[in-house]
């Protein structure tokens, strides 16, 4: 069984070279890049910590992400899927690495973005402001707290219509 996280960019702005650059900055070399129709997959972490990343351009989708938190449907043009293979030994490390990658990708890409886990919003970036959802305690873990550190953010509020 795997845990599925999705990072959706409002604009199609993440390139393969940007993703590999972020990986290098985090100390990884993307040697297992798999080309896909409309994107690519990186299986680099599968062997080491049970983790893969897929980037797909969703430009032609006729729908977006519907949320109780956001006033309008979040229409995204690019979808980054993080698949963490369920292992109690590697899950905390994989989740921390995934979040490091997410924040590094956000620093690289100027687009508004939404990060989800299953059907729950974890955070939303709108005009460089961060809104976090802690309804299920995601942001309470020490490793996650360390990653967001001094970052300024506001909590999600149901039906607040950001």
Q: Domain ranges in the chain? A: 2-155
pLDDT in tens, 20-57: 898 889 887 777 788 998 899 987 666 666 678 899 88
pTM for the structure as a whole: 0.86
Who contacts 32 (Cβ-Cβ below 8 Å, separation ≥6)?
A: 42, 43, 44, 46
**pLDDT, the chain, mean:** 80
Cα(10)–Cα(5) distance, rounded to whole angstroms? Answer: 16
Confidence of residue 7 (pLDDT cuts 50, 70, 90): very high
- The larger pLDDT score, comparing residue 150 to residue 95, is at 95
CA distances from 58 to 21, 68, 80 (A): 22, 22, 10
What is residue 61's predicted lDDT score, i.e. its pLDDT? 65
Contact 85, 10 (CB under 8 A): no
The alpha carbon dihedral of 100, 105, 111, 115 has a sign of negative
Count the alpha carbons within 13 Å of 10 in the hemisphere toward its beta carbon.
14
| Burial track 82-103 (b if 16+ CB lie within 10 A, e otherwise) | bbbbeeeebbebbbbbbbebbb
Where residue 48 falls (left for φ over 0; alpha for ψ -120 to 50; beta otherwise) is alpha
Report the share of the chain in percent with pLDDT over 70: 80
First-last CA distance in the chain: 34
Q: Which CATH class is domain 2-155?
A: alpha beta
pLDDT in tens, 115-124: 998 888 888 8
What is residue 81's predicted lDDT score, i.e. its pLDDT? 92
């Amino acid at each position: 069984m795997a845990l599925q996280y999705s990072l959706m960019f409002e604009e199609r702005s993440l390139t393969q070279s940007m993703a590999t650059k972020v990986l290098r900055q985090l100390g990884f070399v993307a040697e297992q890049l798999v080309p896909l129709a409309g994107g690519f997959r990186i299986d680099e972490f599968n062997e080491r910590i049970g983790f893969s990343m897929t980037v797909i351009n969703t430009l032609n989708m006729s729908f977006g992400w519907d949320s109780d938190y956001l006033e309008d449907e979040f229409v995204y043009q690019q979808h980054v899927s993080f698949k963490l293979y369920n292992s109690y030994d590697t899950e905390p490390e994989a989740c921390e690495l995934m979040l490091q990658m997410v924040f590094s990708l956000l620093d690289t890409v100027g687009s508004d973005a939404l990060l989800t886990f299953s059907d729950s919003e974890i955070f939303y970036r709108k005009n460089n402001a961060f809104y976090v959802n802690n309804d299920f305690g995601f942001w309470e873990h020490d490793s996650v707290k360390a990653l967001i550190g001094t970052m300024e953010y506001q909590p999600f509020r149901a039906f607040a219509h950001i």
